[in-house]
């Protein structure tokens, strides 16, 4: 009997397993691990057994969906014994979700991921601008969608449309769409961006289901309207956009409808203003008709003539005033000449005598007033000195307060034994400690006061 080396036996088994060729295996994915090189390692199991599986990184990168635990899949693989561990494993060549297509599964997984992040939250959706005048358009320059959109927008002649042509399907289309949305959003001149494409299969529309497109739309500072496919088609871009339109044509219709609503509002406002003006004009006419027969209005022309006559007289008033001023000036000049004719010597001597007498009288009055005020001031100073605390202290009195308190003590009940006191004398300060207190009527300061009370 032949004796095999371990490696020889493994090689022999793998040679026999190669006879199986490629096999299709159905099972549930479990224990998915991703290596640093990007390989996927997982277990494919059912109720009765399990097999280890490996999906090389080059093939894993082509998966449109995320390989996760719990997925039911069909795998196309070859059998192999892994020499380092001596374990049987499946080398996966193809992996297909069972019960749901690969693209649909990728769609659902990305939708759930972005929804969990809040990219589809209603509170982050922005409304259509009130007057969308400048439109950014992201679509193919040669497709039917661009013709449909421009045809609808042409109904509003003052609209400005900036087209950013991109591929809308095929490899790399998602990158072009995302770059276009980001570029138009940064311009700062657009009011709204339309991302549109005509109908097609799920594969044809897949560029609008890529994460990079959804994130570019969600991050756009300008509101985005998504119109991809037909009414029954939904893409990730639709969920990320601020407004979802069923078709490209409807996306353009939403813009035009907003402008038409504003135009109707303007027309309604114009009609209201015209009606209000006509109504006011009618009321004023009726009011004027009522006033036309009034007595006061009948006298109005005569009053106007009277005012005009007053104005006519007022026109000659400046001339009259100038004549009056000239007469007064001539009289003033006459008085000046008479004053100069007065004997200068007599007038000057007399005025000096009058001024000298007035000066002497004012001097006497000032002296008397100064003397009187000095006497009053000295009396008040003496009174203040007699009443001032310093004066009282000089007569032998003192002021006692609690230490740290400026209020003087008046009653023995205000202090407690152990408290510190300070007594202000006429000269100096005495500090003391309370050892006891006696409350009672204040004793007389002078002996004769007791005698008077006894009497």
Q: What is the pLDDT of residue 449?
A: 47
Q: What is the pLDDT of residue 243?
A: 93
What is the mean pLDDT of the segment spanning 205-229?
92
What is the mean pLDDT of the segment spanning 374-392?
75
Asked if residues 14 and 1 have their Cβ atoms less than 8 Å apart, the reply is: no
Least confident of 39-53, 65-79, 112-126, 282-296: 282-296
d(CA 138, CA 183): 11
pLDDT in tens, 325-352: 888 888 888 877 776 665 554 556 667 7
**Length of the chain, in residues:** 455
Q: What is the pLDDT of residue 165?
A: 94
pLDDT of 128 higher than 50: yes
d(CA 243, CA 225): 5
Helix or strand run (H / E) with residue 27: strand 22-34
d(CA 96, CA 94): 7
Q: Parse the chain into domains and list their residue ranges.
A: 6-99, 124-261, 337-386, 388-436
d(CA 353, CA 356): 5
Q: Per-residue confidence at 253, pLDDT binned at 50, 70, 90? A: very high
What is the mean pLDDT of the segment spanning 173-195?
94
Cβ neighbourhood burial of 387 (10 Å; 0-12, 13-18, 19+): exposed
Q: What is the pLDDT of residue 166?
A: 93
- CATH fit for domain 6-99, picks 3.40.50.300, 3.40.605.10, 2.40.50.140, 3.40.1350.10: 2.40.50.140
Region at 302 (left for phi over 0; alpha for psi -120 to 50; beta for the rest): alpha
What is the mean pLDDT of the segment spanning 286-302?
72
Give the range with max mean pLDDT: 16-25, 136-145, 334-343, 417-426: 136-145
For domain 124-261, give the CATH number: 3.40.50.960
What is the mean pLDDT of the segment spanning 154-183?
91
Q: What is the pLDDT of residue 453?
A: 44
pLDDT in tens, 402-447: 888 878 888 887 888 888 888 888 778 888 888 887 765 555 544 5
What is the mean pLDDT of the segment spanning 186-210?
88
pLDDT of 452 higher than 50: no
Tokens read off for 304: 């106007």
pLDDT of 116 higher than 50: yes
CA distances in angstroms from 172 to 112, 167, 226, 307, listed in the order given: 24, 8, 19, 89
Question: What residues contact 8, with CB distance under 8 A and at least 6 apart?
Answer: none
Q: What is the pLDDT of residue 136?
A: 94
Q: Per-residue confidence at 249, pLDDT binned at 50, 70, 90? A: very high
C-alpha count within 13 angstroms, C-beta hemisphere, residue 204: 9
What is the mean pLDDT of the segment spanning 49-78?
84
Higher pLDDT, 275 or 409: 275
Scored b (16 or more CB within 10 A) or e, 25-42 reads: bebbbeebeeeeeeebeb
Question: How many Cβ atoms sit within 10 Å of the Cβ of residue 85?
Answer: 9
Q: Per-residue confidence at 137, pLDDT binned at 50, 70, 90? A: very high
Higher pLDDT, 100 or 179: 179
pLDDT of 64 higher than 80: no
Asked if residues 194 and 225 have their Cβ atoms less than 8 Å apart, the reply is: yes
Q: What is the pLDDT of residue 55?
A: 92
Written as one string, the DSSP assignment of 135-153 is: EEEEE-TTSHHHHHHHHHH
Tokens read off for 116: 């969990």
Tokens read off for 118: 């809040």
């Amino acid at each position: 009997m032949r004796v095999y080396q371990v490696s020889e036996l493994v090689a022999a088994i793998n040679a026999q397993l190669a006879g199986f060729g490629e096999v299709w295996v159905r099972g549930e994915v479990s224990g998915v691990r991703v290596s640093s090189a990007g390989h996927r390692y997982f277990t494919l199991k059912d109720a009765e057994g399990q097999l280890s599986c490996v999906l090389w990184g080059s093939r894993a990168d082509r998966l449109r969906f995320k390989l996760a635990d719990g997925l039911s899949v069909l795998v196309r693989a070859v059998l192999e014994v892994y020499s380092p561990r001596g374990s049987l494993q499946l080398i996966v060549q193809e992996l297909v979700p069972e019960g749901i297509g690969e693209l649909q599964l990728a769609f659902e997984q990305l939708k759930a991921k972005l929804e969990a992040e809040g990219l589809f939250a209603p509170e982050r959706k922005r409304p259509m601008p009130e007057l969308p005048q400048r439109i950014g358009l992201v679509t193919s320059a040669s497709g039917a969608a661009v013709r449909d959109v421009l045809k609808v927008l042409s109904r509003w002649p003052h609209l400005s449309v900036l087209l950013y042509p991109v591929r809308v399907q095929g490899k790399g289309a998602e990158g072009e769409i995302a770059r276009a949305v980001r570029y138009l959003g940064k311009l700062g001149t657009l009011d709204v961006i339309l991302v549109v494409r005509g109908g097609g299969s799920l594969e044809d529309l897949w560029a609008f289901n890529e994460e990079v497109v959804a994130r570019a739309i969600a991050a756009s500072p300008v509101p985005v309207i998504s119109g991809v496919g037909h009414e029954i088609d939904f893409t990730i871009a639709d969920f990320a956009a601020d407004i979802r339109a069923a078709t490209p044509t409807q996306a353009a219709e939403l813009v035009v409808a907003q402008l038409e609503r504003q135009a109707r509002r303007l027309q309604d406002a114009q009609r209201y203003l015209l009606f209000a003006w006509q109504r006011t004009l009618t009321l004023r006419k009726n009011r004027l008709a009522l006033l036309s027969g009034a007595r006061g209005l009948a006298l109005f022309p005569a009053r106007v003539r009277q005012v005009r006559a007053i104005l006519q007289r007022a026109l000659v008033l400046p001339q009259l005033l100038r004549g009056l001023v000239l007469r007064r000036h001539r009289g003033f000049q006459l008085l000046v000449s008479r004053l100069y004719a007065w004997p200068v010597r007599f007038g000057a001597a007399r005025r000096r005598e009058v001024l000298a007498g007035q000066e002497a009288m004012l001097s006497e009055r000032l002296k008397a007033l100064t003397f009187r005020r000095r006497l009053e001031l000295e009396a008040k100073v003496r009174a203040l000195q007699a009443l001032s605390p310093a004066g009282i202290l000089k007569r032998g009195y003192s002021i006692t307060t609690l230490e740290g308190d400026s209020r003087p003590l008046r009653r023995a009940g205000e202090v407690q034994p152990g408290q510190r006191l300070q007594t202000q004398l006429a000269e100096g300060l005495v500090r003391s400690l309370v050892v006891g207190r006696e409350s009672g009527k204040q004793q007389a300061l002078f002996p004769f006061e007791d005698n008077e009370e006894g009497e």
